[in-house]
Amino acid sequence: MIGITETICQMETVNWLQQSWDSLLKTLNIPSERSEPIWKELLMRYQESHRQYHNLLHLRHLLKQWGEHEDLMDEPIGVALAIWFHDLIYEPLRPDNEEQSARRAEQILLSWQVDQALVQRVKLLIEDTAKHMPGTDLLDNRLFLDMDLSILGSEPDAYVTYARQIREEYYQLPEAVYTAGRIQVLDRFLQRPFLFFTPAFRQRFELIARQNISNELTRLATQVP
């Protein structure tokens, strides 16, 4: 029964995403015969078996947030494209996922003859996710990173699920190695003066995000030999 429920949820998510994708490509005047191969590539990538968190649901979550904040953006189409492509390449143990995703996005957009300025904007947005720090002070860059990290400020149970999914993506690492690395990542986040770069996200998520991270660090500390 659970399998059937998951399948229905997956189908509903794919249908929702396809409508969003079709709407975006219509705005860019990209005909379906040119966009269809990329849609199939996106589906294949975001459904890779090792993706427990960086998958279609993550994509849908970000696109919903994009819809909620579109009116604040200078170049909403650029942010939408960055959302679609930012995790296109995702192998947890490789150090250049963001660079490779940005490069693939650039290839695709140039093949569609998208304006060069927009292509470069998308590329920079994706590259910012490598360190989750905005490369410029543009509001779009800050909003995009805040949306990507908003999971940190989710309800405690949802955060625990997220943390478990991240661990599952790093299944190749022994527990001690993963725990040490995860503690380093979380400590670096807590050392920042703030996690979120826009007032709206900071007000909504900052305190709960810091509490969630602290709680995870406490749990991880019990696993340190």
∠ Cα 43 45 51 (to 5°): 110
**DSSP secondary structure string, 43-95?**
HHHHT-TT-SSSSHHHHHHHHHHHHHHGGG-SSHHHHHHHHHHTTSS--TT-T
pLDDT tens digit sequence for 19-50: 999 999 999 999 999 999 999 999 999 999 99
Sign of torsion over alpha carbons 146, 151, 152, 155: positive
pLDDT tens digit sequence for 123-162: 999 999 999 999 888 999 999 999 999 999 999 999 999 9
Residues ≥6 apart with Cβ < 8 Å to 143: 69, 72, 73, 79, 197, 198, 201
Q: Contact 76/65 with Cβ under 8 angstroms?
A: no
Higher pLDDT, 224 or 127: 127
Alpha-carbon 44 to chain mean position? 16
User: What was the pLDDT predicted at 225?
Assistant: 64
Binned at pLDDT 50, 70 and 90, residue 1 comes out as: very low
Q: Give the count of beta carbons closer than 10 Å to the beta carbon of residue 167.
A: 17
Distance of alpha carbon 176 from alpha carbon 194, whole angstroms: 28
Q: What backbone phi and psi angles, to 5 degrees, belong to 182?
A: -65, -40
Using the predicted structure, report yes or no on whether residue 5 has a pLDDT greater than 80: no
Binned at pLDDT 50, 70 and 90, residue 224 comes out as: low
pLDDT tens digit sequence for 60-114: 999 999 999 999 999 999 999 999 999 999 999 999 999 999 999 999 999 999 9
Amino acid, res. 98: E
Query: With left for phi above 0 and alpha for psi between -120 and 50, is residue 198 left, alpha or beta?
Result: beta
| pLDDT > 90 fraction of the chain, expressed in percent and rounded | 92
Q: Contact 66/80 with Cβ under 8 angstroms?
A: yes
Amino acid, res. 51: R
Binned at pLDDT 50, 70 and 90, residue 4 comes out as: low
What integer is the mean pLDDT of 165-179?
A: 97
